[in-house]
Each structure stands twice: as structure tokens, then as C-alpha cells.
Structure 1
Amino acid sequence: MTDQNQPRPLPAPGSQELQGLVPDVETRAVYQVLYESREAPLGMGEIRNRVELLTGKANLQTDRRLRSLRTYFDVPATPVAGKSNGFAYPLLGWKPDADERTARKAIRAADRALTLHAYGYRCAACGRSPKEDGVKLVIDHKVPLDLGGTNDPENLQPLCVEDNHAKQALFADHEENAGALRGAMGLPEVHLRIGELLKALAGQPVPKELIVLVAREENHGDPTRRLRELRSLGWKIAFSKRKDGRRVRSFYSLEHWESWPAGGPQAAVVRLERARKRAQRRRDD
């Protein structure tokens, strides 16, 4: 008789069970590395190196493949003591609802073509095109699948390989905040998305580029304007800068927030702007 209290055994690398769940060889290689390092979990850099040795290929988007394994398996980002921004990735076991999950479906060819046409065959981030700039475009999920996104056309955009890799790296750097990102990115209004992210990370400096991703506004939108609008609703958001190599990065930290107004923040911001314009006209008269 099987002991119901015993954890479900993980599939061995190369097993038929794993092949049925994970169809591509590269993702199975990531699983093998995680499986073999269960006693001493590795960081993302070492995982990439070992996967490259197994497959003989580099630049396999290892972080994305690791996230896809989370469809079925519990692989948290665990902070490494004494190492700034250092995380290890232990393979702990099956997810409780693994049997209810389905493998991610590929984007339909028709939706790929429609997405490229809708954006004029240009990168949604930098505007470059294959014809004029020689870049390669890939279809990106605005909200990643593992953060609740879908293959619906409105969640798709073309990115050049460079910007796509930069986005992947940014999400990989914030694996520990996956819950906060998942909770914020699916909300219907930009102020809600930015505000709920800041609330989930209250007191922590949140990089501007992460706020841009969560905002999900075409052509990057203007996150500084949205932050000003949140401040007009009574929020206190501190601004700071840090030097990161040759770059200077901007960060925002939430110090105080107010409850969301009735009707939503966008409507409240519109009302405040109309009141400001009326007051300005009275002063000018």
C-alpha cells in the first residue's frame, strides 16, 4: 500500500514521464541540472553553464525555461546568505496542482503574423525593424505566462532579440518578487498596476525599468507621470538614483499610500486634472 503522506517522487531525467511533460530538449536539460543539484542548489549563472555543457549550445534562455518548469514543479528563488542579490534555485518537488495544469500552447502562426503587422514589423520597445536595422524580432508576452499572461493577441508584442533578452534578465533579477509581479500585472488600470507593485514591495527601492514593465503602456508610457498622479492622490513615493557600472539607475520607494478611490484611480486623476484646469482658468480671468 502506498503511503499517502509520502511526497510524490520527481521524474528522473530522461524518463518517459518527464518527456511527456516537457517536450523540448533544452528545457529537459535545465530540469536535469536542477534535479542533479538538489542537495546543493545552484545560482542562475552556474545553471546556464551546466546546461550549455549538456546541450553544447549557448544563449538558451535558461531563465525562461526554468520558469516554464514551474508549470509543474516547485522551484523557488532562494536568497543566498551573505551574497547581495544572490539566489539559488532548489527543485523542491511537484506543485500541489500539477495534475490540473496543462502544458503551455504555442502561439498560433496567425497571431504571430497579426502581431507583427499591428506593430509595423518593429520592436515595441526600441522601434527598430529587420528591414531598416537588421534586427531579429521575436513574439513576446507582455505579461509573462508564468505571471498569469496568456497567448491572447492583446498580450503579444514583437521585441528585438536584444530587448527581449533584457526583459528576461530583468525578470530573472526579480525572481524573488514573482508574487508581487503576478499580483500587479493583471490589474485593469495602470495606476493600480504600479501602485500594487509598490505596495507589495513597500520600503524597497523599485527600479524604474520594473515599473515600466508592470505599467504595460505602449511605447513605455510615462511612469514618472503616473507616479506624480499617484502622489496627487496622497501617496508618498521617494525617488533615488544609483550608479550601476556606467549607468545611473532610478528607483522609487513607497513610504505611504491611500486607499483606492471609488470608481478607480484613473477616474480620480481625471477629476483632479479637470479641477486644476478650472482653477487655472479662474486665475487667468
Structure 2
Amino acid sequence: MPDAETRAVYQVLYQSRDEPLAMPAIRERVNALTGKANLQMDRRLRSLRTHFDVPAQRVPGKSNLFVYPLLGWNPDADKRTARKSIPASVRALVHQTYGNRCAACGRTPKDDQVKLVIDHMVPLDLDGTNEPDNLQLLCEEDNHDKQALFADHQENAAALRKSLSLPEVHLRIGELLKAMPGENVPKELIVLVAREENHGDPTKRMRELRSLGWVIRNSQRKEGRRVLSFYRLEHWEPWPPGGPQAAVASLERARRRKKRTRESAANSSQE
């Protein structure tokens, strides 16, 4: 049975379903209904999302503004209801692991006045779990960005489900590209699948995949003031027997040995 505050959030979302509201307006209306301020809105939304489809949708032309439409029942409700909530001890462990810092942008509540939330690297509706190794800290802004990105790519759910839970970053990126053949895959989606702290460097990962014989084309498109980057897979090779990470490390060691040999030869010729 949901608590009174969660029921109030549902009431506001239901009443505004034809014209979805942004979080400040939702919070204001919920506070008016309950007479309480500083409600944990992220927790209330997570509770509602067990049963209802309430995505975060970016407002066109507003990079950091999202609205929350109530779209109906969550088709995955039965499976989500069966999942246990995250224990307090696990939440404390995640905060300790990430040093109370956003895994995406590195900001902290103390230094940057951001609010941090527990995020599932692999979302529950893409077969993620509540295990500690699937949890990270994100600030509300990056968490909303992630939700909006997943919402924008719902048609690629099968590709995301296949790639997100793989154990190596090269496998995750490569299998995503393979699952979207001939498509221009946005950099943001690759960063999301890479699951590397502080956004990682997809340019470096693409270079490493190319060293394994993959052909990946990069393109850019200007959208307003933003320049969007895309990657398209044109050819791929089977994964090395020991895995791509070991193969890339071996190639890098060979490159360094070759460089040292050249430098040594150059120094000898100057003596």
C-alpha cells in the first residue's frame, strides 16, 4: 500500500497527464496536497515506476529540463514488483564506493550542491539487479539525462539488453554496434553502454576496437548549438579467444616495445 506522499505524487501526475509537468511544478503541487516540504521525490517516483510507466522526457530546446508524463501501467510491473528494494546497508556501501561523488560528472553535494541518487547501471527493466556491482551514484541531472536517453532509444531495448550486462567495456560497445548494423549510433548511447566513470573516452575505445580489425566510421551533426557525434559499424571481427581487453593490452605492450626499440636505435646512432 503506497504512503500518502506517493499517492499525492500519483494524483499530480494523473491530473497533469495531458500536459506533463517538470519536477519543480510537481514538487510544488505535491507539497500543497500533503502540507509537507522536501519530500524525497526520486524515491516516490521509483515506487510509482514499479507499477506505472513514468519516463523522464527532455523538453525540446531545454537540455536540463524534463517533464514526467504518466503513460499508463508498466508492462514489466509483475517482474519489478517481485524485486526487493535496495537495503540501507547496500546504499551505504554504494555511497562509500563512489566517495559520495557522481559517477558521471564527479560533482559532490558538499562542493557543488547537487543531490545524489542510487542508479542501476543496467536498468531493472533491462534485466538489471539490485546487486552492489550494478549500482552507482549519479547526480539528479545525470540521472535524468540517462532516463531520457533510454526513453529516446526504447526501440533499441533488445540491443541494450544484450550489451549492457557484458563484463568488458569493448564487448559492451562492440555488441551494441553489432546489434545496430548500418545505424549511426549516438555517442551518448555508447557512453551509457560503456559504463565507465566520468564518461570514459569512447574515442579511445573506438581506436582500440579498430586495432582489432574493426571498421568504425565517425560522423558529426550540428543541432542548434550542440555538435552531436555518431559511430557506425561497417565491419567487425570475431572476438579474440582471451577477450578484447587482453588483446588490446597485448597490442599496446607490443607498441611500447617497438617504440623503445626505435628510441634505443636512435640514441645509439647519435653516439
Q: Same fold (TM over 0.5)?
A: yes
Q: Cα gap change, 1:100/1:122 in structure 2, threshold over 3 Å: closer, same or farther?
A: closer
**CA deviation profile, 1:197-246 (whole Å, cap 9, x unmatched):** 00101111111111111111122222211110100111111101111221
Shift of residue 164, structure 1, vs aligned partner: 0.9
Q: Does the 8 Å CA contact 2:49/2:74 hold for their aligned counterparts?
A: no
Aligned length: 236
Shift of residue 150, structure 1, vs aligned partner: 1.1
Superposed CA RMSD in Å reads 3.8
Q: Does the 8 Å CA contact 1:31/1:69 hold for their aligned counterparts?
A: no
Q: Cα gap change, 1:196/1:135 in structure 2, threshold over 3 Å: closer, same or farther?
A: same
**CA deviation profile, 1:119-143 (whole Å, cap 9, x unmatched):** 2212111122112221111111111
Counterpart for residue 56 of structure 2: none
Separation (CA, whole Å) in 2 of partners of 1:118 and 1:94: 33
Shift of residue 114, structure 1, vs aligned partner: 1.8
Matched residue type, 1:258: E
Counterpart for residue 105 of structure 1: 84
Shift of residue 270, structure 1, vs aligned partner: 1.5
Counterpart for residue 230 of structure 2: 251
Q: Does the 8 Å CA contact 2:222/2:228 hold for their aligned counterparts?
A: yes
Separation (CA, whole Å) in 1 of partners of 2:170 and 2:256: 21
Q: Does the 8 Å CA contact 2:12/2:30 hold for their aligned counterparts?
A: no
> Could you list the runs of 5+ residues in structure 1 that have no partner in the other structure?
1-18, 34-44, 74-88
Separation (CA, whole Å) in 2 of partners of 1:66 and 1:178: 21
What is the percent sequence identity of the aligned residues? Answer: 62
Matched residue type, 1:160: C
Question: The residue matched to 1:273 in structure 2 has which SS?
Answer: helix
The correspondence of residues 48-127 of structure 1 with structure 2, limited to 5 A, is: 48=20, 68-69=50-51, 102-127=81-106
> Could you list the runs of 5+ residues in structure 2 that have no partner in the other structure?
32-40, 54-69, 266-271
Structure with more helix by fraction: 2
Matched residue type, 1:173: D
TM-score normalised by L of structure 2: 0.72
Shift of residue 65, structure 1, vs aligned partner: 7.8
Q: Cα gap change, 1:100/1:228 in structure 2, threshold over 3 Å: closer, same or farther?
A: closer
Matched residue type, 1:281: R
Matched, 1:150 2:129: yes
Matched residue type, 1:150: T
Counterpart for residue 221 of structure 2: 242
Separation (CA, whole Å) in 2 of partners of 1:169 and 1:281: 47
Separation (CA, whole Å) in 1 of partners of 2:136 and 2:74: 33
The correspondence for 1:129, drawn from 90, 108, 131, is 108
TM-score normalised by L of structure 1: 0.69
